[in-house]
Amino acid sequence: MGLLNKLDDPYEGGGIVLGKVEELLNWGRSKSDWYLHFGLACCAIEFMAMNASHFDFMRFGTIPRTSPRQADFIMVTGTVTFKMADRIKILYEQMAEPKYVISVGSCSNSGGPYWEHGYHVLKGIDLIIPVDVYIPGCPPRPEAFEEGMIQLQKKISQQAIFNKRKKLGIE
Amino acid sequence: MTPQEIYEHLKKSHDTAVLEFVDQPQTDPFIRVEPSAVFDICHSLRDDEGLEFDYMMSLSATDLGEQLGVVYHLYAMKYRHKIVIKTEVPKDNPLVPSVERLWRTADWHEREAFDLIGVVFEGHHNMIRILLPYDWEGHPLRKDYQAPETYHGMKVS
Amino acid sequence: MSEKKRLDLEYSQLDSDRMRINVGPQHPSTHGVLRLEVEVDGEIVTEVVPHLGYLHRSFEKHCERMTYPQITPYIDRMDYISAMNNEWPYVMALEKMLDIKVPEKVEYLRVIVAELNRIANHQIAVATFGLDAGAFTPFLFYFRDREYIIWILEKLSGARLLYNYFRVGGVSGDIYPEFKEEVLNVVKQVRKTNEEVMNLLIYNSIFVKRTANVGILTPEVAINFGCSGPVLRGSGIAHDLRRDEAYSVYDRFDFDIPVGKGEVGVVGDCWNRNMVRVHEMEQSCRIIEQALEQMPMEGDVKAMIPKRIKLPKGEVYMRAENPKGDLGFYIVSNGTDKPERLKARGPSFVNLSVIPEISKGYMFADLILILGSIDIVLGEVDR
């Protein structure tokens, strides 16, 4: 983003970077997101592949956490059933602000293949918690995970911290 | 042993409880038995010499409309023969003796059959739901099942 | 009161009752959304109560509402790690009912993709088992190799994980020109990595100390609990449907059935169960090599696929060797294009039921290893 471009050539301005505090904070926030991995079903296997050698999810600055209290965003990968839905709500509420949600795969977006006759499947995670980024696919390819992560980073870096109703301008 | 021989063997010891032997085309040959005698017949199937069905492949419950059916698929590791045992119980009083004491694997299979179809297995040590939440109402795989509108405030469909 | 005395007082007031710990449903080492209610005495496990159903996706209800070809994608989503193997018994059951003779080429192609998928499954199983024991490098090694297998399956079917590849009487995609060469390269790579992992993980003394003599499952208990697959073979019983029932063309291949021998530890412990999987990868490689040699390269893989599938009245129980055990489908047909009842007998469901039996008396940390050595997938447990 804008801040990085200024850092590219440190000698131009004598190593001085001019920017807003919000920009600096957002730059840090968006490039080191820790996530609570909520692996539920098939998408979680694809997410394991995403974490492993070929795709290396950690290059986005993400670190998997197993506790919601240390996480910046929650990654819901898979089918959410009614038995599970209460737990997701509890875990989401335990996270510290600011918090984000990525919904991965058709099932957690909308119920997916189980939308019609799935008597025990929640038809979309957005019925119980707010979702920031939806990643479509059944299961999504690792490239889709990358795109979803980029979208989340974009969203975070445009967020105003001090005046919350305002959106930062896009450079 | 062939299914026919197994049927004849069972007929000798459990005369009235073993109802019929069915060998139709497009169907694995099966033996229909009286529901109250399921445990005794399964006991003979497991322990009688020459049969020794020590491995339960599957236990399925089905909704047959008026009645509920329970199907046992058995396999013998030693002789590598198979048999299918079937029994039917009325829908308003679906009681079948549990075979959990014979094959421990039947424990979860029977709980699943109770959960989804609603067959009650007598003598099972822990006849509670296994897949659905403990406060769920109804048995979803029955043909006349209507899914509830909401569950814990969440819309079902 | 002096410091010493105050401490003594506190120790004596400590609760000596047994403690109940909740593991899961969202826990990194439960391999999905399994919830275990564990009662511990200090660090010794005294009771384990599994609670299932956190991924109950109403599979059997869907089957009653879908036509036969529409069911295959749902079957993929049961055991999502080895989708190819899942589809096979279902398709075989329909072929048996419809009396369809599958072309030779399709049979060999099915064997190859199923064995490739079996390798991929065992790679995940061994990798995550290593992860449970604290070894991270084998995970990276195996996932690197698994990607090569997935690329081949993707070229054939178009999907990375859930293939929907098997059709009644055929498969959905033909082989491509470099198929044989690529599969042979993968086989070579799998063998190379297995050799590395043998030194790195399997015979590593830390790993052996953690896993040998832990979670011993005796053969009698295993049969009584209906265990199958590597869990049963780890207990020393050579039960493999690929040989015992010799479905498809498996009778034409020369392969061994690896069983737990008690090389390290005793027969039926976690180490032996895991070792069976490593050996099975090698056997799958052998089958693939033979199948590639024998496979006719010409022929239409879609020639025998019927336009409309309508089963005659009747019922069938068909089982096949899934990487996790015997996967069975009991299909009751009422003569229409939708099944009256379809029950799936998942190997993970049955294998998992042995957990309360074999984990008593071990340390709490061992419980995680025992669970890892059984290699469950919750999509199949809960369906």
Query: In angstroms, rounded to a whole number, what is the distance separating the alpha carbons of residues C187 and C179?
Result: 12
Query: In angstroms, rounded to a whole number, what is the distance separating the alpha carbons of residues B141 and C293?
Result: 46
3 state SS of A128: coil
Tokens 């999905």 correspond to what residue?
Answer: C32
| Residue C314 belongs to some domain of the structure | yes
| Residue C218 belongs to some domain of the structure | yes
Q: What's the confidence (pLDDT) of residue A164?
A: 62
Query: In angstroms, rounded to a whole number, what is the distance separating the alpha carbons of residues C243 and C259?
Result: 14
Query: In angstroms, rounded to a whole number, what is the distance separating the alpha carbons of residues B54 and B77?
Result: 7
pLDDT band per the 50, 70, 90 thresholds, residue C10: low
pLDDT band per the 50, 70, 90 thresholds, residue A4: low
B4 pLDDT exceeds 70?
Answer: yes
Give A4→chain C minimum CA distance, Å.
31
Query: In angstroms, rounded to a whole number, what is the distance separating the alpha carbons of residues A20 and C195?
Result: 55
| Residue C25 belongs to some domain of the structure | no
The backbone torsions φ and ψ at residue C2, rounded to the nearest 5 degrees and listed phi first, read: -70, 165
Q: What's the confidence (pLDDT) of residue C100?
A: 86
| Residue C39 belongs to some domain of the structure | no
Of A49, A54, A117, the CB nearest to C65: A117
A14 pLDDT exceeds 60?
Answer: no
Query: In angstroms, rounded to a whole number, what is the distance separating the alpha carbons of residues B60 and C264?
Result: 39
Which residues does chain B have within 8 Å of residue C226's beta carbon, measured at their own beta carbons? 55-57, 103-105
Of B131, B132, B154, the CB nearest to A128: B154
* C259 residue type, one letter: V
The strand ranges marked E within A40-72 are 63-65
The per-residue pLDDT of chain B, averaged, comes to 86
The stretch B90-109 carries a mean pLDDT of 88
| Residue C34 belongs to some domain of the structure | no
User: Does the beta-carbon distance from A84 to C55 stay under 8 Å?
Assistant: yes
Kindly report the CATH number assigned to the domain that includes residue C124.
Answer: 1.10.645.10
Q: What's the confidence (pLDDT) of residue C8?
A: 59
Q: What's the confidence (pLDDT) of residue C16?
A: 67
Query: In angstroms, rounded to a whole number, what is the distance separating the alpha carbons of residues B17 and C187?
Result: 56
Tens-digit pLDDT profile for residues A103-119: 998 888 888 888 888 88
β-strand partners of A103: A76, A134
B46 pLDDT exceeds 50?
Answer: yes
| Residue C24 belongs to some domain of the structure | no
| Residue C243 belongs to some domain of the structure | yes
Q: What's the confidence (pLDDT) of residue C119?
A: 92
Residues ≥6 apart with Cβ < 8 Å to C56:
A81, A83, A120, B131, B132, C382, C383
Task: Express as a percent the part of chain C with pLDDT over 90.
Answer: 11
| Residue C36 belongs to some domain of the structure | no
Give A117→chain B minimum CA distance, Å.
8
pLDDT band per the 50, 70, 90 thresholds, residue A163: low
Q: What's the confidence (pLDDT) of residue C15?
A: 65
Q: What's the confidence (pLDDT) of residue C187?
A: 92
Q: Which of C 143-162 lie inside 8 A of A, CB atoms?
A: 143-144, 146-147, 150, 160-162
Which residues does chain A have within 8 Å of residue B156's beta carbon, measured at their own beta carbons? 82, 119
| Cβ atoms of B116 and B130 closer than 8 Å | no
Tens-digit pLDDT profile for residues C92-112: 888 888 888 888 888 898 999
Q: Is B100 on the interface with C (CB under 8 A)?
A: no
Which residues does chain A have within 8 Å of residue C162's beta carbon, measured at their own beta carbons? 42, 138-139
Give C56→chain B minimum CA distance, Å.
6
ipTM for the predicted complex comes to: 0.91
The per-residue pLDDT of chain C, averaged, comes to 86
Which residues does chain B have within 8 Å of residue A126's beta carbon, measured at their own beta carbons? none
Tens-digit pLDDT profile for residues A45-95: 888 888 888 888 888 888 888 888 888 888 888 888 888 888 888 888 888
Task: Express as a percent the part of chain C with pLDDT over 70.
Answer: 95
Q: Is B62 on the interface with C (CB under 8 A)?
A: yes
Q: Which of A44, A160, A64, A30 is nearest to A107 (CA)?
A: A44
| Cβ atoms of C313 and C147 closer than 8 Å | no
For residue C268, what are its two tokens?
């039926």
Minimal Cα distance from C378: which residue of A?
A: A41
User: Does the beta-carbon distance from A123 to B152 stay under 8 Å?
Assistant: no
Residue C151 lies in domain: 49-382
Query: In angstroms, rounded to a whole number, what is the distance separating the alpha carbons of residues A82 and A57?
Result: 30
Q: What's the confidence (pLDDT) of residue C285?
A: 92
User: Does the beta-carbon distance from B105 to C353 stay under 8 Å?
Assistant: yes
Q: What's the confidence (pLDDT) of residue C260?
A: 84
User: Does the beta-carbon distance from C140 to A141 stay under 8 Å?
Assistant: no
C190 pLDDT exceeds 60?
Answer: yes
Q: Is C320 on the interface with B (CB under 8 A)?
A: no
Q: What's the confidence (pLDDT) of residue A165?
A: 64
Q: What's the confidence (pLDDT) of residue A167?
A: 67
**Comparing A6 with A78, which gets the higher pLDDT?**
A78
Q: Is A86 on the interface with B (CB under 8 A)?
A: yes
Tens-digit pLDDT profile for residues C116-151: 999 999 998 998 888 888 888 888 899 989 999 999
Q: Is C95 on the interface with B (CB under 8 A)?
A: no
Q: Is C37 on the interface with B (CB under 8 A)?
A: no
Peptide bond into C323 cis (omega under 30): no
User: Does the beta-carbon distance from A118 to C26 stay under 8 Å?
Assistant: no
Q: Is A89 on the interface with B (CB under 8 A)?
A: no
pTM: 0.88
Q: What's the confidence (pLDDT) of residue A171?
A: 45
User: Does the beta-carbon distance from C81 to A119 stay under 8 Å?
Assistant: no
User: Does the beta-carbon distance from A127 to B132 stay under 8 Å?
Assistant: no
Straight-line distance from the first to the last Cα atom of chain A, in angstroms, rounded to the nearest whole number: 7
A10 pLDDT exceeds 80?
Answer: no
* A14 residue type, one letter: G
| Cβ atoms of C287 and C155 closer than 8 Å | no
User: For chain C, what is the domain count?
Assistant: 1
pLDDT band per the 50, 70, 90 thresholds, residue A5: low
Minimal Cα distance from A65: which residue of C?
A: C28
The stretch C301-309 carries a mean pLDDT of 83
Of A83, A86, A127, the CB nearest to B155: A127
